[in-house]
Amino acid sequence: MTRVRGWLADGARGLVWYLREASGETAYERYVAHELVVHPGRPVLDRRTFERRRQDDRTVHARCC
């Protein structure tokens, strides 16, 4: 029983992780982590500015049929 519950919990955690990664929700977290490691001391953009820049930089790609 506890084993099944453990699997379900793992599955749910995995799904949330997947959806957050695939939808790009984690882009900001990754950016902050990256900045702290690569450019420590440099001011980090707030989320609103970051997301706005990310949206504006987005290139449109063809989708197939």
Partner 1 sequence: MSTTAPPPTTTASRPTDPDPPNRARQVVVWTLVSVVAAVCWGVIALVRDEQISAIWLLGAALGSYAIAYRFYARFIAKTVLEVDDTRATPAERNGDGTDFEPTDRRVLFGHHFAAIAGAGPLVGPVLAAQMGYLPGTIWIIVGVIVAGAVQDMVVLFLSMRRDGKSLGQMAREEIGPVGGAAALIAVFSIMIILLAVLALVVVNAMAESPWATFSIAMTVPIALFMGVYLRVLRPGRVLETTAIGVTLLLLALVGGGWVESSGLAETFTLSKETLVLCLVVYGFVASVLPVWLLLTPRDYLSTFMKIGTIGLLAVGLLLARPLLQNESVTEFASNGAGPVFAGSLFPFVFITIACGALSGFHALIASGTTPKMIEKESQVRLIGYGGMLAESFVAISAIIAASIIDPGLYYAINSPASLMGDTLQSASEAVANLGFSITPDQLASAAAAVEESTLVSRTGGAPTLAVGMSQIFSEAFGGGGRAFWYHFAIMFEALFILTTVDAGTRVGRFMLQDTLGNVWKPMRNVSWKPGVWICSAVVVGGWGYFLYVGVTDPLGGINQLFPLFGIANQLLAAIALTVATTLLIKHGKLRWAWVPGVPLAWDAVVTLTASWQKVFSDDPVLGFFAQRDKYATALDADQVLPPATDLDGMRQIVTNTTVDGVLAAFFAILVVVVIADAARVCVKALRDPDSVATTEVPYVRSTLVAPAGLVPTKAEKRAMAEAGAGGPGGSS
The site for partner 1 (CB under 8 A) is made up of 13-14, 17-25, 27-28, 30-31, 34, 47-48, 50-52, 54-65
Of the pair 6, 47, the CB lying nearest partner 1 is at 47
* Shortest Å, Cβ 3 to partner 1: 18
Of the pair 41, 46, the CB lying nearest partner 1 is at 46
* Shortest Å, Cβ 51 to partner 1: 4
Residue 2 half-sphere exposure, CB side, CA atoms within 13 Å?
A: 0
Give the dihedral of Cα atoms 46, 48, 50, 54; nearest 10 deg. 170
Distance of CA 43 to the CA centre of its chain: 20
